[in-house]
Amino acid sequence: MNDIQFRRNYSALIDPGYVGQTGQTARAGTQTQKTGENTAAFSEILQNSIEDSENGLKFSKHALKRIGARNIDVSPQLVAQMNSAVDKAGGKGVKGALILSGSTAFIVNVPSKTVITAMDSGEMKENIFTNIDGAVII
């Protein structure tokens, strides 16, 4: 029973007569052609993303949502300070860090240099910080 494999045929679920918003009929198995402009923009974005991930701090999807919802100002200067704090924490063997900057707190996974979540002073009063083994005040 463990060696049975199931495969889904998604093209069978698409109605061949389905008309999208552009007025073109969708066909299973067809591909759209990419323009050179889109490909160049994508490769540039990909390269920037690779450089950023190798050199600096990354923000998780969850952290980006929290920063937006809580109107937390994240300046390039703050990111540079946080990056330095993460490097120092990593040098001390910290895996999960609480980074405090004024009235804002960030939880960071140090080995992956990823900000997991962010909160302002209102949320800090109600929360217990878990899964951290170090704190850095900047």
Residues 79 and 131 placed together within one structural domain of the fold: yes
* Tokens 């390269």, located at residue: 47
Residues 72 and 120 placed together within one structural domain of the fold: yes
Tokens at residue 114, please?
């990823």
Backbone angles phi, psi at 135, to 5 degrees: -135, 145
Comparing C-alpha atoms, which of 86, 87, 114, 90 is closest to residue 99? 86
Say what the pLDDT of residue 124 is: 82
pTM of the shown model: 0.61
Residues 49 and 81 placed together within one structural domain of the fold: no
Assess if residue 91 is contained within a domain.
yes
Say what the pLDDT of residue 127 is: 74
Tens of pLDDT, residue by residue, the chain (138 residues): 555 655 555 445 455 554 444 455 444 444 545 555 555 566 666 555 555 555 689 999 999 999 999 999 999 899 999 999 999 999 999 999 999 999 999 999 999 999 999 999 888 887 788 889 999 999
